[in-house]
Structure 1
Amino acid sequence: MLNIDENQLKLLLEKKRKMLEQKKYDGIGESISSISLMITLVLSDFSQLTIIKPLYFKIIAWGISIVILTYGIYTFIKSIKIYSVDQLYSEIADIDPKIEHSFNIVVIRDSRENGKYLVFKSKRWNCWLFPNYHCLNAIFSKAKELKYITECIKRDLKISEEIEFKYIGNNISEKYSVGDKVRKKYNFHYFQATNIAIDFNNKRTFHCNGKKYCWKTLDQMYSDKNIIKKNKDVLDYVRRMCDIS
């Protein structure tokens, strides 16, 4: 049985209301309507208008149709991937401080500069973290998680080449969750890239698919008080098990 604060549950459900109510392929109606309006504007003669100049009317009508089309396309894109019941349950369980929260930590070393690792700026934690993803299931399957993180990394970093990872191990950790403001028990599973090519090595920071990335050495991360406060347990494990610099 989940042990969840009622107010936190209500807040989460309210945040997800629109996603749960959204229908698949929503927005098609708006897109078709806007296209029909555009065709009408092209084929019709508005020279008989007296209340407003035909040119002004066309400008306003075209503006409205473009706004409707943009909204329809945006809604359609969002509706393609429906927010599932399993995703909702996962997020509900995530606010239970007694549940063990399993994450995959992805360790990627810079192929050009030894000792540097890829990190991203987490908005939720307001901190530089190693790339990480929720584990797929409560029962850990190394093969399934390897396939899953490979897909995630290729998507997030726009990599088309094949990637190879090896499983390093796992570490149980209990610490304060910045996002949910409670102490949680985490089970971190570590995967290290053994063959990966990233075209952003020469940049200090870069953005990809909405995330901000950079390369940092472990010493740089240890010297950051914010990272130490929120993620020292992960740094210690990476230094102990993955670092060869």
Structure 2
Amino acid sequence: MQIGFGPIANGVVIIIEGLFYIPAALTSGLDQIFQGLLLALSIIFIFYGVWSLITACRNKYDAITLYEDIANMDRTERRSSIIAVKDANRYLLYRDLGWGCDFFPNHATASSTDEDVRQLTTYFADEFGIPAKDFTLSHICVKDSEKPSTDHDGEVRYYEYTLYRASVTVMPDAWRSTEFHVGAKDCRWMTLDEMLADPVINKINHDVVAMVRDNL
């Protein structure tokens, strides 16, 4: 099933470029040697364009090829939405067993902002023991990052982080300690300076801490 032009359009463009050189060569006023070079270049472009066009028609640009092209263009491994909850100069973190360090509340980013807010609201309320009516989420920014992944033996991976600010109107009693346990999560409050001074947090998630620092 052919679902798009893909490389076919590339072949057509190359042929047009080759045809463009013909009048340019004949009307350029250059000596015969340079005119000959331009004509030869145009012929090369035309033949290459025809070859590309024939090859593209034989190898149709199907759904699999389209997916591979998109995958090659988009190197992002993970899109995560980050929730920054601030109490004075401290931020709420929880023990992320996957990263092996304390981290901001986070959830996989949804396809639209409205859906992202809806999913984040449900996640934050359920996982951190706070009624949805007691906080609001505000979209702040989006940041791309690349860094070694703890899940892939230190290979460089690509991430996209979407930052939200959570404005809490009624703080749960359980949150009033510096360290506390809620649901299945071990949580704590830390300042940005404390996060950057922590060797594990700074090594693994310096980019996220810096995003919060620079935008809130």
Rate the CA distance shift 1:99–1:234 in 2: closer, same or farther, 3 A: closer
CA distance in 2, matches of 1:128, 1:185: 20
Compute the displacement of 1:219 (Å).
0.8
**1:108 match:** 85
The number of residues matched between the two structures is 140
SS of corresponding position for 2:152:
coil
Q: Which of structures 1 and 2 has the bigger CA Rg? A: 2
CA distance in 2, matches of 1:198, 1:234: 25
Compute the displacement of 1:100 (Å).
3.7
**Aligned CA-pair RMSD:** 1.6
What amino acid does structure 2 have at the position aligned with 1:133? H
Asked if the contact 2:121–2:132 (Cα under 8 Å) also holds between the matched residues in 1, the reply is no
SS of corresponding position for 2:118:
helix
Deviations 1:135-160 (A, max 9, x none): 13xxx311110111000000011222
SS of corresponding position for 2:174:
coil
Could you list the structure 1 runs, at least 4 aligned residues long, displaced by more than 4 angstroms after superposition: none
Per the normalisation by structure 1, the TM-score is 0.54
**1:190 match:** 163
**2:99 match:** 125
Q: Which runs of 5+ in 2 are unaligned?
A: 1-73
Deviations 1:83-140 (A, max 9, x none): xxxxxxxxxxxxxx94441100010012xxx10000011111111110111113xxx3
SS of corresponding position for 1:146:
helix
Compute the displacement of 1:232 (Å).
0.5
CA distance in 2, matches of 1:161, 1:143: 15
Map 1:1-245 to 2 at 5 A.
98-110=75-87, 114-136=88-110, 140-162=111-133, 163-181=135-153, 182-196=155-169, 197-242=171-216
Rate the CA distance shift 1:173–1:161 in 2: closer, same or farther, 3 A: closer
Q: Which runs of 5+ in 1 are unaligned?
A: 1-96
What amino acid does structure 2 have at the position aligned with 1:171? K
What amino acid does structure 2 have at the position aligned with 1:101? R
CA distance in 2, matches of 1:115, 1:134: 26
Q: Percent identity?
A: 26
